[in-house]
Amino acid sequence: MNGAFITLEGVEGCGKTTQMTLLRDRLEREGRRVLLTREPGGTPIAEAIRDILLDPANTALSPVAELLLYEAARAQHVAERIRPALDEGAIVICDRFADSTTAYQGAGRVLPGDTVRNLHRLATGAVWPDLTIVLDIPAEEGLKRAAAARTRDRIEREPLEFHQRVRREFLRIAESEPERVKVVDAAQPPEAVAAAIYELVRMVLEQP
């Protein structure tokens, strides 16, 4: 059986965590080896960087420092965890990856797209998702769900307009890379979202 690199993306509260667990359970029932991981994070060093990035006390963090920290966490995560798992033939399911940086730091913070893309290359090497699923939901709905689930982190505290730019950017990425990036309506009940995701993943895993 082939390994594959699958990423889930979308605005906060769109249901990534819920869906990646359902997907992992289903793939494991089929006898596949699955690694669930997340960004920023996934290794001790990257989790330490995550703490800096999401701490609401860090209001002084500059947009460029934020961008570099997300990419630094990614470089460590790819080298230490994602690449080795893919080399062993596992299916790696990652909660957010480089498209989040394009959306949040590129579109959200309005940093130059070519700089962001160059940093992706540096941080990821040739490791890039086989399939990216954007769970699409209006930003205000996602924020409501996330707020009901837990306290707000540093980025969730940004104004609604920021999160709307992020959503639009995920949809733009999907339009510009239709082979890799698929959009699923995340306003549906969780079981319907899970069925749509499974179908997309099955198609990728069955490719020769």
Q: Which residues bind ligand Z5A (CB under 6 A)?
A: 12-18, 38-40, 70, 96, 100-101, 104-105, 145-146, 148-149, 153, 155-156, 186, 189-190, 193
Complex with ligand Z5A: residue 38 or 131, whichever CB lies closer: 38
Complex with ligand Z5A: residue 16 or 130, whichever CB lies closer: 16
Helical segments of the chain, H only: 16-29, 44-54, 63-77, 83-87, 98-101, 113-124, 139-149, 160-176, 190-205
Q: Whole-number minimum distance, CB 104 to ligand Z5A, in Å?
A: 3
Q: Whole-number minimum distance, CB 97 to ligand Z5A, in Å?
A: 7
In angstroms, rounded to a whole number, what is the distance separating the alpha carbons of residues 208 and 189? 32
Complex with ligand Z5A: residue 50 or 130, whichever CB lies closer: 50
In angstroms, rounded to a whole number, what is the distance separating the alpha carbons of residues 174 and 87? 27
In angstroms, rounded to a whole number, what is the distance separating the alpha carbons of residues 74 and 1? 27
Q: Whole-number minimum distance, CB 99 to ligand Z5A, in Å?
A: 8
Complex with ligand Z5A: residue 63 or 89, whichever CB lies closer: 63
Q: Whole-number minimum distance, CB 2 to ligand Z5A, in Å?
A: 25
Cβ 4 vs Cβ 34: under 8 Å: no
